[in-house]
A and B are shown apart, each in its own frame.
Chain A
Amino acid sequence: MNRGAPSGRTRDLALVLPVFGTLALVPPFIGLFARPGMAVAGIPLIVVYLFGLWLALILAALVLARRLAKDDGAPDGTDG
């Protein structure tokens, strides 16, 4: 354990986030939202889903990066 190393949970989340993002973006999951004719406020459901998910991933990355940056004291540290 190194002083200043990010907490294990944050790092685990950082590893899992892209995996989660990938699963949510590929079939079969994405097929749930690719329903012709379904729309939210005139915008097709699939468009809302894709851009909404995208934005959520960006926000999650923002929060994680902030936390990791705060914890990751020295760039030359020896944490892994």
Chain B
Amino acid sequence: MTLRDLALLVAVGFALLLFLIAFLGDRASARGRGQRWIASPVVYTLSVSVYCTSWTFYGAVGSATRDGLEYLTIYLGPTLVFIGFWSLLRRILRISRRDNITSIADFISSRYGKSDAVAAIVTILALLAAAPYIALQIKAIATSFQVLGAATEDPTGSAAAILDLGVAFWITVGLALFTILFGTRSVDIHERHFGVVAAIAFEALVKLVALVAVGLLAVYGVADGPGDVFARMAASTVDAEETFAMRWVGLILLSGAAVICLPRQFQVAFVENEDERHLFTAAWLFPLYLFVLSLFILPIAIMGQAILPEGSNPDMFVLTMPMAAGRIDIALLAFLGGFSSATSMVIVSCIALSTMISNHILMPLALRSKALPLSGSGDVQRFLLVSRRVAICFILALGFLYLRTGATAAGLASIGLIAFAGAIQVLPALLGALYWEGANRRGALLGLVAGGSVWAYTLFAPNLLAGAPWWDALAQAGPGGIGWLRPGALFGMETDDPLMHALFWSLAFNTLAFVAGSLSRLPTPIERLQAALFVRVFEERGDAGTLRGRAATVDQLFDLAQRIMGADRAYGIFRRYAESQGQASTFPTVDDGFIAHLERRMAASVGAASARAMILSVTGSETISLDELVRIADETARLMRHSDEVTRKSDEIERAAAQLTAANDRLRSLDRQKDDFLSQVSHELRTPMTSIRAFTEILAETPDLDPAERRRFIGIINAESIRLTGLLDEILDVAVVESGDGGHPLEPVDPERALDQALDACLGLTRAAGVRVERTRGTDDIRVTGNPARLGQVFINILSNAIKYGRSDDPVIRVETRVEEGTCIVAIADNGPGIPAAEARIVFDKFTRGRTGETVQGAGLGLAISHAIVARFGGALRLVSSERGARFEIALPVV
């Protein structure tokens, strides 16, 4: 058995193993078991690693050999995107899962008003870009076969420089069969392929193990440790001047964009995703996977150059280096790794692209031409399956044809980059979809067409058509002899790097057309709605309205659904929805919610645009009705209300904060008053105490004091003691009144009489101060709740205050009484300087003394005591006016 036969046997055996894994995976998920291993974040990450194709497995070593560290850019770009998953990937994933998105074309068309045209253009662009990429995989597998087959006579692999198209053809056929069996066994309701995901995750492991094995062989088998590897390294490999220029930046951007925009990456990362939280693991595990692969690529490239003869194909070092080292087993493992990388890419790409072709090109065409036989159950399903199988064959045929033109003579990496540049033309539309509500269908269409055309003209065509005389003439002189339109030097931009040239112009035109197109008209209602649903995905509340008419009957809808999904599945969806509506019957009530639900489920099979077209064919409302516009308006109004509410709440919080501040200030001022009062009280207690002490000392130390003197001193001591007692009484009084004043029972009191008595008591004071009292009686024989002694105390207090503070040239105190609504009001007003507003507020607080700038005696407790007493009577003591003199009003409830 030759090595080539052995390789063939291994490849076929490996393919069977993959089938087994896919079968077990499908069965486990159908039974709802095995969720733990299929639906694990590690499997998800490994499936995302389908990013690493044979371009990585074989081509990266070739790239590292030719261009040094440049190969790292292809893995650094995705690393940056994944470690920044929180802002971009999570957003796309959330939307994709919410709307049952089936592909990148579906995602973008969904955002731009569920437009058929946008979806079709994205599909065509993806298909064009995929052709060289798939050709690359076929070439890699074919070449690896040839290298192994010729191992004995040509261990350098240079014979494989001439591709055997016969081998390539049969590989293409094999891949087609393999993919059809794998990916189109059924039209899955969620467009998810558990078995395929399990199989490509396994292939990802094989890739990793194989490359690490070859890498370890290079470092420790061929060389003598890492130091030795770098000692043998050619200086050009890490030539910094060459590497770290514009191209380095451009390639990081390109690969970072590609890891989202490539149809197969979108498929595994967003469509096949089982759980949003898997992204949290992939965010670091996928970069780690890339890191490990990249780490071992460099030593393989260095040692390949070191031990293989001049002229060996560096793209095959991964295979030829182990052979040259005499390790056939590792070479076979490497072959398997290469086979894994190529097949997994082809399978997933074909699944993703065939879904796009059938959903966005064939289905809309069939719907429009009415060619679709919509007569029996599951018709659409059968149509989809057949169209997908045809599409897979078409895609692979395209890849093979691309290979046949000989356009893939360049290294694997440079072919892959052409595909990348084509695939990322959706980037402006994609980012606009996620972050710019103003982006619309016109902008997306113009951008995609402009970017795609420039890419095709400056990169795709030159690669494909180079060698054809008419093209070469055009490339030399420019179309129609117009020099500044030459594909290699657009607008005279001469460069030796066609990739960067094409990347710059295509993205520039793309973005410009996208922005200009979007700004050129206002978005339509459905674009506006979808824009809000995409851009504000994390603000979503409930089911924002989708726009359907309500003319459809449940029978019509069921008829439609069963054609697309088959009767059983449609029945299940209808019954479950009816249950959720709380209906006893099998069929739900047709409302907007149900139609939107059904459209989403159908979109999972045929894509958003087609599902919408079909639903519209039943519901019959092509334009948005007034009702729906009202709903959109309602939604807007609701959002605005919400924002008003937020504003109002923050106002409330501000007000509360202001109140707190005011209360705090008041507390501080009270605290200050208390301190002031304490120091004043202690000062006033101290003064009589000091004099008492001084006189007692004199009396004690001077026994022969003259009796008259002695009597005078004792008189002073007595007077001071009385003052001291009075002071203490006053302080105690506050405490007593405040704590309930138990000793003075409430009884009916004649207020006029109490007032007369108080005025009599103050007669001495008024005369001494020369104050005139004007008394007005406004009541007649009434009684108020109170206590005669205490009420008298209140009146005396306020009167003496008025006498003390009401100083003016002609002091007058007006005393009035009146009855108002069951309340007797006694007003005592002076015509002095009045009480400033700031003090009026605190005049009834304890420990407040005197009016500004006045020196008066007493502890300043009078008003506080009065206030407390009146409050206990169930009345109120108010300072009513303080402009032209102070006016106190004592309100007392009439019995």
Interface residues of A, CB < 8 Å — how many?
43
Contact B245 A27 (CB under 8 A): yes
Q: Which DSSP category, helix, strand, loop or mixed, fits chain A's interface?
A: helix
Type the 1/0 row for B677-696, where 1 means its CB is closer than 8 Å to any CB of A.
00000000000000000000
Report if A27-B230 is in contact (Cβ < 8 Å); known contacts: A14-B86, A36-B235, A57-B287.
Answer: no
Contact B298 A47 (CB under 8 A): yes
Chain A residues with CB below 8 A from B87, complex form: 14-15
Q: Which of B539-555 contact A (CB under 8 A)?
A: 539-541
Contact B227 A78 (CB under 8 A): no
Type the 1/0 row for B248-291, where 1 means its CB is closer than 8 Å to any CB of A.
11001000000000000000000000011100110110011001
Stretch at the interface among B72-80, B303-311, B364-372, B375-383: B72-80
Instruction: Tell me how far the C-beta of A43 lies from the nearest C-beta in chain B, rounded to whole angstroms.
Output: 5
Chain B: CB-nearest residue to A53: B76
Contact B84 A18 (CB under 8 A): yes
Contact B275 A75 (CB under 8 A): yes
Contact B277 A18 (CB under 8 A): no
Check if B239 is an interface residue, CB within 8 A of chain A.
Answer: yes
Looking at the complex, which one of A21, A35, A39, A44 makes contact with B83 (CB distance below 8 Å)?
A21
In angstroms, Cα B287 to Cα A59, docked, is 10
Instruction: Tell me how far the C-beta of A34 lies from the nearest C-beta in chain B, rounded to whole angstroms.
Output: 3
Contact A30 B244 (CB under 8 A): yes
Contact B86 A11 (CB under 8 A): yes
Chain A residues with CB below 8 A from B539, complex form: 78, 80
In angstroms, Cα B288 to Cα A54, docked, is 9
Contact B287 A58 (CB under 8 A): yes
Q: For chain B, which range describes its interface: under 10, 10 to 19, 20 to 34, or 35 or more residues? A: 35 or more
Chain B: CB-nearest residue to A35: B240
Looking at the complex, which one of A42, A65, A68, A69 makes contact with B230 (CB distance below 8 Å)?
A42
Looking at the complex, which one of A34, A43, A50, A69 makes contact with B226 (CB distance below 8 Å)?
A43
Check if B455 is an interface residue, CB within 8 A of chain A.
Answer: no
Check if B632 is an interface residue, CB within 8 A of chain A.
Answer: no
Chain B residues with CB below 8 A from A21, complex form: 79-80, 83-84
Chain B: CB-nearest residue to A47: B238
Q: Which of B100-140 contact A (CB under 8 A)?
A: none
Report if A75-B230 is in contact (Cβ < 8 Å); known contacts: A57-B79, A61-B82, A80-B539.
Answer: no
In angstroms, Cα B134 to Cα A28, docked, is 36
Add 20 more A-B contacts to A15-B84, A54-B294 (CB < 8 A): A14-B86, A14-B87, A15-B86, A17-B84, A21-B83, A26-B252, A43-B226, A44-B230, A47-B298, A50-B69, A54-B79, A57-B79, A57-B83, A58-B288, A61-B82, A61-B83, A61-B283, A61-B284, A64-B283, A66-B280
Interface residues of A (CB under 8 A from B): 11, 14-15, 17-19, 21-22, 25-27, 30-31, 34-36, 39, 41-44, 46-47, 50-51, 54-55, 57-62, 64-66, 68-69, 72, 75, 78-80
**Contact sample, A vs B, 15 pairs, CB 8 Å cutoff:** A17-B84, A18-B83, A21-B80, A21-B83, A21-B84, A31-B244, A35-B240, A47-B69, A47-B230, A54-B287, A57-B79, A58-B291, A59-B284, A62-B284, A80-B539
Interface residues of B (CB under 8 A from A): 69, 72, 76, 79-87, 226-227, 230-231, 233, 235, 238-241, 243-245, 248-249, 252, 275-277, 280-281, 283-284, 287-288, 291, 294-295, 298, 538-541
